[in-house]
Amino acid sequence: MARMKFLCDADRCIECNACVTACKNEHEVPWGINRRRVVTINDGKPGERSVSMACMHCTDAPCQAVCPVNAFYTTADGVVLHSKDICIGCGYCFYACPFGAPQYPRVGNFGSRGKMDKCTFCAGGPEPDGSAAEYEKYGANRLAEGKLPLCAEMCSTKSLLAGDGEIIAQIYKERVAKRGYGSGAWGWKTAYRETISS
Amino acid sequence: MTTLVAALRNVVGALTLCALALAAQPAAAQQPTSVDPTKSAVSEEQLLQQFKAIQGKSRIPDAKSYTLEQPAGQNWRHFHEVTLRWIGAIAILGSLLVLVVFYLARGMVRIEGGRSGHVIVRFNAFERFVHWMTASCFVILALSGLNITFGRSLLLPLITPEAFTAWSEWAKYAHNYLSFPFTLGVILIFLIWIAGNIPNRVDVEWLKRGGGLVGHDHPPAERFNGGQKMVYWIVVLGGGAAVVSGYVLIFPFYGTTVATMQEAEMVHGIVAMLFIAAMLAHIYIGTIGMEGAFEAMGTGTVDLNWAREHHALWLEEQSRQGAADPRAQPSAIPGD
CB contact under 8 A, A100 and B152: no
Mean pLDDT is lowest, of B141-150, B184-193, B197-206, B320-329, for B320-329
Residues on chain B touching A196 (C-beta within 8 angstroms)? none
Residue B54 has pLDDT above 50, yes or no: yes
Of all helices (H) and strands (E), which one includes residue A32? none
- Distances in Å between the Cα of B82 and the Cα atoms of B87, B157, B267, B272, B274 are 9, 19, 15, 16, 16
Question: At B115, phi and psi to the nearest 5?
Answer: -75, 135
Q: Which of A11, A38, A67, A88 to mutate to test the interface with B (most CBs of B within 10 A)?
A: A88
Query: Which pLDDT does position B18 carry in this prediction?
Result: 53
Task: Please give the residue that has the higher pLDDT: either A84 or B30.
Answer: A84
Contacts of A111 in chain B (CB under 8 A): 172-173, 175-176, 250
Give the amino acid at A180: G
Q: Coil, strand or helix: which one is A49? A: strand
Cα(first)–Cα(last) distance of chain A, in Å? 25
Whether residue A49 and residue B76 make contact (CB cut-off 8 A), yes or no, is no
Identity of the residue in B36, B41, B253 whose CB atom sits nearest the CB atom of A49: B41
Task: Tell me what ipTM this predicted complex has.
Answer: 0.92
Per-residue pLDDT at B75: 94
**What residues have CB less than 8 Å from B12, skipping those under 6 apart?**
none
Q: How far, in Å, CA of B286 to CA of B106, rounded?
A: 15
Q: Give me the pLDDT at residue B1, please.
A: 52
B324 within domain boundaries: no
Asked whether residue B320 is assigned to any structural domain, the reply reads no
pLDDT reading at A135 higher than 80? yes
**pLDDT score for A188:** 95
- CATH code for position B215: 1.20.950.20
Strand partners, A141: A123
Answer whether residue B63 shows pLDDT above 90.
no
C-alpha A178/C-alpha A172 separation (Å) is 10
Is residue B58 scored above 50 in pLDDT?
yes
For residues B194-222, average pLDDT: 88
Strand boundaries in chain B, DSSP class E? 54-55, 67-69, 119-121, 301-303
Closest partner residue to A37 among B36, B58, B176, by Cβ? Answer: B58
> What torsion do the CA atoms of A143, A61, A186, A120 make, to the nearest 10 degrees?
30
Distance between CA atoms of residues B248 and B196, nearest Å: 31
Across the interface, do B251 and A37 touch by the CB < 8 Å criterion? no
Provide the pLDDT for residue B260: 95
Comparing A41 with B37, the larger pLDDT belongs to A41
User: Quick one: pLDDT at residue B329?
Assistant: 43
d(CA A172, CA A7): 8
Band (pLDDT 50/70/90 cuts) for residue A124 is very high
- pLDDT class of B334 with cuts at 50, 70, 90: very low
**Structural domain of residue B91, as residue ranges?**
71-110+123-278
State chain A's mean pLDDT as an integer: 94
Q: Is 90 exceeded by the pLDDT of residue B27? A: no
Weakest-pLDDT range from B9-23, B71-85, B161-175: B9-23
Least confident range of B65-74, B168-177, B216-225: B216-225
Residue A134 pLDDT > 60, yes or no? Answer: yes
- Note the pLDDT of residue B333: 41
Q: Is residue B172 part of a domain?
A: yes
pLDDT band at B322 (very low <50, low <70, confident <90, very high): confident
Shortest CA gap B93–chain A (Å): 21
CATH number assigned to the domain covering A4-190: 3.30.70.20
Q: The pTM is what?
A: 0.87
Q: pLDDT tens digit string along A152-173?
A: 999 999 999 999 999 999 999 9
Question: Are the beta carbons of B77 and A96 separated by less than 8 Å?
Answer: yes
Identify whether B15 is part of a domain: no
Please name the residue of chain A whose CA is at the shortest distance from the CA of residue B144: A68
Q: Name the percent of chain A lying above pLDDT 70.
A: 99
**Mapping DSSP to helix (H, G, I), strand (E, B) and coil, where does residue A40 land?**
strand
Domains: count for chain B = 1
Across residues B232-250, what is the average pLDDT? 97
Domain boundaries of chain A, sorted by first residue: 4-190
Residues of A in contact with B163 (CB under 8 A): none
Please tell me which of the candidates A90, A94, A97 has its beta carbon nearest to residue B172. Answer: A90
Average confidence score pLDDT of chain B: 88
Q: What is the dihedral of CA B58, B60, B62, B66, to 10 degrees?
A: -10
Residue of A31, A35, A36, A37 to mutate for B, most B C-beta atoms under 10 A: A37
pLDDT in tens, A60-106: 999 999 999 999 999 999 999 999 999 999 999 999 999 999 999 98
Interface size A-B, in CB pairs within 8 Å, comes to 167
A90 and A68 in contact (C-beta within 8 Å)?
A: yes
* pLDDT at residue number B2: 59
Q: Could you give phi then psi for residue A74, rounded to 5 degrees? A: -105, 125
